[in-house]
Amino acid sequence: MTTFALIGAGPGLGAAVARRFGRHGFDIALISRSQQHLDALAAQLGEDGITARGFAADVLAPDALNAALDAATSTLGPIEVVQYSPVPHKDFMKPVLDTSAADLQGPLAFSVGGPVTAVRNVLPGMRELGRGTLLFVNGGSAVQPHTQRAGTSIAFAAESAYARLLHDQLAPDNIHVAQLIIPGAITPGDARKDPDTLAGLLWDIHRERTGFRHFAEPLDA
Protein backbone atom coordinates (compact mmCIF):
# COMPACT_ATOMS: atom_id res chain seq x y z
CA MET A 1 0.00 0.00 0.00
CA THR A 2 1.02 3.62 -0.40
CA THR A 3 1.55 6.27 2.26
CA PHE A 4 -0.38 9.30 3.44
CA ALA A 5 2.06 11.91 4.80
CA LEU A 6 0.52 14.30 7.30
CA ILE A 7 2.68 17.39 7.80
CA GLY A 8 1.35 19.03 10.93
CA ALA A 9 0.21 15.95 12.83
CA GLY A 10 -1.71 16.84 15.98
CA PRO A 11 -4.44 15.47 18.23
CA GLY A 12 -7.37 17.27 16.56
CA LEU A 13 -7.78 17.48 12.80
CA GLY A 14 -4.52 15.64 12.18
CA ALA A 15 -5.55 12.60 14.19
CA ALA A 16 -9.00 12.53 12.57
CA VAL A 17 -7.60 12.70 9.04
CA ALA A 18 -4.97 10.05 9.83
CA ARG A 19 -7.72 7.72 11.05
CA ARG A 20 -9.87 8.38 7.98
CA PHE A 21 -7.08 7.69 5.48
CA GLY A 22 -5.76 4.80 7.56
CA ARG A 23 -9.16 3.11 7.58
CA HIS A 24 -9.10 3.29 3.79
CA GLY A 25 -5.85 1.34 3.68
CA PHE A 26 -3.14 3.98 3.70
CA ASP A 27 -0.08 3.69 5.91
CA ILE A 28 0.35 6.96 7.80
CA ALA A 29 3.51 9.06 8.10
CA LEU A 30 3.08 11.59 10.91
CA ILE A 31 5.31 14.66 10.77
CA SER A 32 5.60 17.42 13.38
CA ARG A 33 8.27 18.81 15.69
CA SER A 34 7.86 16.51 18.71
CA GLN A 35 8.86 12.86 18.39
CA GLN A 36 7.25 12.13 21.76
CA HIS A 37 3.88 13.42 20.61
CA LEU A 38 4.22 11.63 17.28
CA ASP A 39 4.97 8.32 18.98
CA ALA A 40 1.92 8.73 21.22
CA LEU A 41 -0.34 9.47 18.25
CA ALA A 42 1.10 6.56 16.26
CA ALA A 43 0.38 4.26 19.20
CA GLN A 44 -3.23 5.47 19.39
CA LEU A 45 -3.70 4.87 15.68
CA GLY A 46 -2.12 1.45 16.06
CA GLU A 47 -4.83 0.53 18.56
CA ASP A 48 -7.31 1.13 15.74
CA GLY A 49 -5.38 -1.23 13.45
CA ILE A 50 -3.73 1.58 11.48
CA THR A 51 -0.05 1.42 10.55
CA ALA A 52 1.46 4.78 11.53
CA ARG A 53 4.97 6.04 12.24
CA GLY A 54 6.23 9.40 13.45
CA PHE A 55 9.05 11.35 11.83
CA ALA A 56 10.03 14.53 13.68
CA ALA A 57 10.81 17.64 11.66
CA ASP A 58 10.24 21.39 11.80
CA VAL A 59 8.80 22.74 8.54
CA LEU A 60 11.07 25.77 8.98
CA ALA A 61 14.10 23.45 8.56
CA PRO A 62 14.17 22.18 4.94
CA ASP A 63 16.88 19.58 5.53
CA ALA A 64 14.94 18.10 8.45
CA LEU A 65 11.68 18.03 6.48
CA ASN A 66 13.37 16.33 3.54
CA ALA A 67 14.93 13.79 5.88
CA ALA A 68 11.56 13.03 7.48
CA LEU A 69 9.86 12.51 4.13
CA ASP A 70 12.74 10.35 2.89
CA ALA A 71 12.54 8.24 6.05
CA ALA A 72 8.78 7.90 5.67
CA THR A 73 9.16 6.64 2.12
CA SER A 74 11.89 4.18 3.12
CA THR A 75 9.94 2.91 6.14
CA LEU A 76 6.35 2.83 4.89
CA GLY A 77 6.48 3.00 1.12
CA PRO A 78 5.86 5.54 -1.65
CA ILE A 79 3.95 8.68 -0.65
CA GLU A 80 0.73 9.04 -2.63
CA VAL A 81 -0.98 11.76 -0.56
CA VAL A 82 0.43 14.72 1.36
CA GLN A 83 -1.55 17.02 3.61
CA TYR A 84 0.17 20.27 4.61
CA SER A 85 -1.60 21.68 7.67
CA PRO A 86 0.79 22.69 10.46
CA VAL A 87 -0.59 25.23 12.94
CA PRO A 88 0.97 28.69 12.43
CA HIS A 89 2.97 30.26 15.26
CA LYS A 90 1.11 32.86 17.31
CA ASP A 91 3.75 35.50 16.59
CA PHE A 92 2.82 35.31 12.88
CA MET A 93 -0.42 37.11 13.73
CA LYS A 94 0.54 40.72 14.39
CA PRO A 95 -1.55 43.71 13.29
CA VAL A 96 -0.59 44.88 9.83
CA LEU A 97 0.74 48.28 10.98
CA ASP A 98 2.96 46.54 13.55
CA THR A 99 4.36 44.08 11.01
CA SER A 100 7.85 44.68 9.63
CA ALA A 101 9.57 43.03 6.68
CA ALA A 102 11.49 40.88 9.14
CA ASP A 103 8.24 39.75 10.74
CA LEU A 104 7.17 38.23 7.41
CA GLN A 105 10.19 35.98 7.02
CA GLY A 106 8.90 33.34 9.43
CA PRO A 107 5.35 33.15 8.04
CA LEU A 108 6.61 32.93 4.46
CA ALA A 109 9.12 30.22 5.33
CA PHE A 110 6.34 28.34 7.13
CA SER A 111 3.61 28.68 4.51
CA VAL A 112 5.67 28.77 1.31
CA GLY A 113 9.12 27.36 2.02
CA GLY A 114 7.70 24.33 3.83
CA PRO A 115 5.20 23.40 1.10
CA VAL A 116 7.76 23.91 -1.68
CA THR A 117 10.23 21.66 0.13
CA ALA A 118 7.60 18.97 0.67
CA VAL A 119 6.29 19.05 -2.89
CA ARG A 120 9.72 18.88 -4.48
CA ASN A 121 10.50 15.88 -2.29
CA VAL A 122 7.39 13.81 -3.02
CA LEU A 123 6.71 14.77 -6.63
CA PRO A 124 9.15 12.32 -8.28
CA GLY A 125 7.59 9.45 -6.35
CA MET A 126 4.06 10.49 -7.29
CA ARG A 127 5.03 10.68 -10.93
CA GLU A 128 6.52 7.20 -10.69
CA LEU A 129 3.27 5.93 -9.14
CA GLY A 130 1.27 7.67 -11.84
CA ARG A 131 -0.99 9.38 -9.31
CA GLY A 132 -0.96 11.60 -6.23
CA THR A 133 -2.83 14.14 -4.15
CA LEU A 134 -1.54 17.31 -2.49
CA LEU A 135 -3.89 18.79 0.11
CA PHE A 136 -3.37 22.28 1.52
CA VAL A 137 -5.39 23.30 4.59
CA ASN A 138 -5.67 26.99 5.47
CA GLY A 139 -7.70 29.39 7.57
CA GLY A 140 -10.08 31.97 6.20
CA SER A 141 -7.37 34.66 6.05
CA ALA A 142 -5.97 32.85 3.00
CA VAL A 143 -8.79 34.37 0.94
CA GLN A 144 -10.11 37.11 3.24
CA PRO A 145 -7.14 39.00 4.77
CA HIS A 146 -7.42 40.05 8.40
CA THR A 147 -5.82 43.31 9.55
CA GLN A 148 -4.89 41.80 12.93
CA ARG A 149 -3.24 38.72 11.42
CA ALA A 150 -0.99 40.17 8.78
CA GLY A 151 1.67 37.47 8.72
CA THR A 152 -0.68 34.56 8.15
CA SER A 153 -2.88 36.59 5.78
CA ILE A 154 0.07 37.40 3.53
CA ALA A 155 1.74 33.99 3.80
CA PHE A 156 -1.49 32.00 3.35
CA ALA A 157 -2.25 34.03 0.23
CA ALA A 158 1.18 33.14 -1.14
CA GLU A 159 0.65 29.49 -0.25
CA SER A 160 -2.70 29.61 -2.03
CA ALA A 161 -1.09 31.00 -5.17
CA TYR A 162 1.58 28.28 -5.11
CA ALA A 163 -1.01 25.55 -4.62
CA ARG A 164 -3.18 26.91 -7.45
CA LEU A 165 -0.19 26.94 -9.79
CA LEU A 166 0.51 23.32 -8.86
CA HIS A 167 -3.14 22.42 -9.48
CA ASP A 168 -2.96 23.76 -13.02
CA GLN A 169 0.49 22.33 -13.78
CA LEU A 170 0.12 18.83 -12.34
CA ALA A 171 -3.38 17.88 -13.46
CA PRO A 172 -2.09 16.27 -16.69
CA ASP A 173 0.16 14.05 -14.53
CA ASN A 174 -2.86 12.70 -12.57
CA ILE A 175 -1.70 14.58 -9.47
CA HIS A 176 -4.60 16.43 -7.89
CA VAL A 177 -3.88 19.58 -5.89
CA ALA A 178 -6.60 21.07 -3.70
CA GLN A 179 -7.05 23.57 -0.90
CA LEU A 180 -9.50 23.38 1.99
CA ILE A 181 -10.36 26.69 3.67
CA ILE A 182 -11.57 26.37 7.27
CA PRO A 183 -12.96 29.74 8.45
CA GLY A 184 -12.59 30.29 12.18
CA ALA A 185 -11.72 27.56 14.66
CA ILE A 186 -11.96 23.80 14.28
CA THR A 187 -14.74 22.95 16.74
CA PRO A 188 -15.56 19.48 18.09
CA GLY A 189 -19.28 18.86 17.80
CA ASP A 190 -19.83 21.55 15.16
CA ALA A 191 -21.90 20.37 12.19
CA ARG A 192 -19.30 21.57 9.67
CA LYS A 193 -16.03 22.04 11.56
CA ASP A 194 -15.82 18.99 13.80
CA PRO A 195 -12.47 17.22 13.15
CA ASP A 196 -14.17 14.03 11.95
CA THR A 197 -16.43 16.00 9.60
CA LEU A 198 -13.43 17.85 8.15
CA ALA A 199 -11.55 14.56 7.80
CA GLY A 200 -14.43 13.20 5.77
CA LEU A 201 -14.37 16.29 3.58
CA LEU A 202 -10.64 15.93 2.95
CA TRP A 203 -11.11 12.28 2.08
CA ASP A 204 -13.84 13.22 -0.39
CA ILE A 205 -11.61 15.88 -1.95
CA HIS A 206 -8.90 13.26 -2.44
CA ARG A 207 -11.32 10.66 -3.80
CA GLU A 208 -13.44 12.87 -6.07
CA ARG A 209 -10.52 14.92 -7.46
CA THR A 210 -12.65 17.86 -8.63
CA GLY A 211 -11.86 21.55 -8.30
CA PHE A 212 -9.13 23.40 -6.47
CA ARG A 213 -10.61 25.42 -3.60
CA HIS A 214 -13.11 24.00 -1.14
CA PHE A 215 -14.70 25.56 1.96
CA ALA A 216 -15.66 23.90 5.22
CA GLU A 217 -18.35 26.55 5.51
CA PRO A 218 -19.09 29.88 3.79
CA LEU A 219 -16.75 32.66 4.86
CA ASP A 220 -19.66 34.83 6.00
CA ALA A 221 -21.16 32.05 8.17
| Strands in 3-152 per DSSP E | 3-7, 27-31, 52-54, 79-84, 132-139
Whether 84 maps to a domain, the answer reads yes
Residue 61 CB coordination number (10 Å): 16
Residue closest to 145 by CA, chosen among 133, 128, 131, 158: 158
Whether 220 maps to a domain, the answer reads no
Look up the CATH number of the domain holding residue 96: 3.40.50.720
pLDDT digit string, tens, across residues 65-94: 999 999 999 999 999 999 999 998 888 889
- pLDDT over 90 percentage in the chain: 94
Q: If pLDDT is split at 50, 70 and 90, which confidence band does 219 have?
A: confident
Whether 221 maps to a domain, the answer reads no
Res 93: pLDDT: 87
Whether 41 maps to a domain, the answer reads yes
Parent domain of 24: 3-215
Res 62: pLDDT: 98
Q: For the CA atoms of 163, 102, 66, 168, what is the dihedral angle to 10 degrees?
A: 10
pTM: 0.96
Whether 83 maps to a domain, the answer reads yes
Query: What is the side-by-side order of every strand in the sheet holding 175-182?
Result: 52-54, 27-31, 3-7, 79-84, 132-139, 175-182, 213-215
**Count of domains forming the chain:** 1
Sign of the Cα pseudo-torsion (66, 59, 161, 84, in order): positive
Whether 98 maps to a domain, the answer reads yes
Task: Kindly tell me if the per-residue pLDDT of 221 is higher than 50.
Answer: no
- Backbone angles phi and psi of 196, in degrees to 5: -65, -35
The Cα–Cα gap between 23 and 11 comes to 17
- pLDDT over 70 percentage in the chain: 99
Whether 143 maps to a domain, the answer reads yes
pLDDT digit string, tens, across residues 97-131: 999 999 999 999 999 999 999 999 999 999 999 99
Whether 198 maps to a domain, the answer reads yes
